[in-house]
Amino acid sequence: MLGVIVLAHGSRDPLWRAPIESVARQIADRDASALVSCAYLELCEPDLATAARDMVAQGATRIRVLPLFFGMGKHAREDLPQRMADLAAAHTDTAFERLPTAGEDPRLTALLAKIALETQA
């Protein structure tokens, strides 16, 4: 069973989570058979390890992590690879895949350019 974790930095402001949760809902809407969860590096819950553990308990055998970071900063470059390695060590029967950060996807950067140039009605 496939699991998808939408991973973001985290914030104490509950309104900050709305767009991250929206991405998760849209993933679930596109594939009702996938387990989908949000996770955060800090400042709110669940963290990545907890989200992964919950998915494994629900039967996930493959988990994709979508990091919603725009740039390749320290979290994406150093912290996330270590956390992914920790997940793989803790759940040896589960395949983990770290997707590129959102900002590395040329489809997203092209969409942002399009949005910036669109005429607002």
Share of the chain above pLDDT 70, in %: 96
Query: Residue 63 maps to which CATH number?
Result: 3.40.50.1400
Non-local (6+) Cβ contacts of 105 within 8 A are none
| Domain containing residue 28 | 2-117
What does pTM read for this prediction? 0.92
2, 9, 86, 94: the active-site residue: 9
How many domains would you assign to the chain? 1
pLDDT of residue 19: 96
Question: Does 91 qualify as catalytic in the annotation?
Answer: no
Task: Give the number of other CB atoms < 10 A from CB of residue 5.
Answer: 27
Residue 72 has pLDDT above 80, yes or no: no
Using alpha carbons, select from 101, 88, 82, 98 the residue that is nearest to residue 61: 88
Question: What pLDDT, on a 0 to 100 scale, did the predictor assign at position 46?
Answer: 97
Structure tokens at 76: 């994406």
Q: What totals of helices (H) and strands (E) does the chain contain, helices first? A: 5, 4
